[in-house]
A and B are shown apart, each in its own frame.
Chain A
Amino acid sequence: MTETNKAEATSQALTISGLDCFYGEVQVLYGLDLVLNKGEVLCLFGRNGAGKTTTLKAIMGLVPSSAGSIKLAGQELTGLPAHEVPKAGVAYVPQGRRLFAEMTVAENIEIGLMARGKGKAARENVLDLFPLLRQRLRQRSGTLSGGEQQMLAMARALCLEPQVLLLDEPTEGLMPSMIAKIRETVSKLRDMGVSTILVEQRVDAVLSVADHVAFIENGRNRETVDVEELRADPSAVRRYVGVG
Chain B
Amino acid sequence: MNNNEFDVIIIGGGITGAGTQRDCAMRGLRTLLIERSDIATGATGRNHGLLHSGARYAVNDPESAEECIKENMILRRIASHCVDETDGLFITLPEDDLAYQQTFVDACRKAGISAEIIDPELAKRLEPSVNPELTGAVRVPDGSVDPFRLCAANMLDAKLHGGQVRLHTTVTGFIREGDTIKGVHTRNLITGEERDFYAPVTVNAGGIWGHDIAALAGVNIGMFPAKGALLVFAHRVNNMVINRCRKPSNADILVPGDTVCIIGTTSTRIPFDECDNVSVTPDEVTLLITEGAKMTPSLSSTRILRAYAGVRPLVSADNDPSGRNISRGIVCLDHEERDGLKGFITITGGKLMTYRLMAEIATDAVCRKLAVQKACETADIPLPGSEEGSYEAVAQKIWEKPSTAQKAAAARMGSRASRIRTRDRLDEALICECEEVSVGEVKNAIERLDASTLTDLRRRTRIGMGTCQGEFCACRAAGLLAKAHGCIDKERDDLKEFLQERWKGNFPIGWGDTLREAEYTQWVYKHVLGL
Q: Do A and B bind each other?
A: no
A residues with a Cβ closer than 8 A to B are none
B residues with a Cβ closer than 8 A to A are none
